[in-house]
Amino acid sequence: MDSHMFIASLVSGAAAGTSTDLAFFPIDTLKTRLQAKGGFFANGGYKGVYRGLGSAVVASAPSASLFFVAYDSMKCWSRPIIGRMLPEGDEQLADTVSHMFSSSVGEISACMVRVPAEVIKQRTQTHKTNSSWQTLQELLRNENGEGLRRNLYRGWSTTIMREIPFTCIQFPLYEYLKKKWAQVQGKDHAAPWQGSVCGCIAGGIAAAATTPLDVLKTRIMLHHKSVSALHLARNMLKEEGVSVFFRGVGPRTMWISAGGAIFLGVYETVHSLF
């Protein structure tokens, strides 16, 4: 990746991440409250749907920039290597594997910033404190004795476990739809608005498919102390039934589907300016 492409990915990612979080934050709050233990109204209902916005805004630009810098650079680096490893002539398979690998690296990079912000955001959304700043102060006080790293990065492994399947569905599908749309029109690249539509479709499918992992991630982040994902999943299944793993599927699918349209549409638009 040259410096020009690096700057394009950096700025495009920052613009995409910030615009999406600002536009759809209330829906994310409703989804979090649906998934939290105790149910929707016990965790705030429709009140204060912008609680936790501060942590999301602070983290959205750097996390999205990290994702796209890693994603775009890994695509450039991995595609020739993967192409040589796979049977000659199977270009679509090579593209798909490259997109899956690159987006996974991108998600892991973004989670370095995203996970602490998610912990702060979701605790604030469920009225554990009145603001993102108060939540951060509470975590820094280390009242549970688990240390700063375990408090701020609670749910790290579960977030990665959610993000990798999500991104392995979303980005290969997004790239495939863009490619096919461009081919139908006899063009080399799809227009930014077409990329936005492709992002909407791909994001919605990926969001619905990974909802159970998202519910589990939310519960771990809201837990007072660290808990294993398997232990928590067993307790949730025993106490609340299998339906608990699909709580918030509607808002999550709607949020990520519409958010994917803005996120990838803004990314494509800004990127095209470079």
**Percentage of residues in the chain having pLDDT higher than 90:** 24
The pLDDT value given to residue 263? 77
The pLDDT value given to residue 237? 92
Residues 230 and 138 reside in one and the same domain? no
Question: Rounded mean pLDDT of 191-205?
Answer: 90
Tell me the range of 48-52, 80-84, 99-103, 260-264 where mean pLDDT is highest. 99-103
Residues 128 and 178 reside in one and the same domain? no
Question: Could you give the CA distance from residue 91 to residue 83 in angstroms, rounded to a whole number?
Answer: 7
Burial 83-95 (b: 16+ CB within 10 A, else e): beeeeeeeeeebb
Strands (E), the chain: none
The pLDDT value given to residue 5? 67
The pLDDT value given to residue 244? 92
Is residue 131 in some structural domain? yes
**Which of 104, 138, 154 is where one domain is finished?**
154
Closest alpha carbon to 172 in 63, 87, 78: 78
User: Are 65 and 10 a contacting pair, CB within 8 Å?
Assistant: yes
One-letter amino acid for residue 194 of the chain: Q
Question: Could you give the CA distance from residue 165 to residue 183 in angstroms, rounded to a whole number?
Answer: 27
Is residue 3 in some structural domain? no
In the numeric block, which tokens belong to residue 183? 């081919």
130 phi, psi to nearest 5 deg: -90, -15
Question: Where is pLDDT greater, at 203 or 14?
Answer: 203
The pLDDT value given to residue 1? 58
Q: 229 lies in which domain range?
A: 156-273
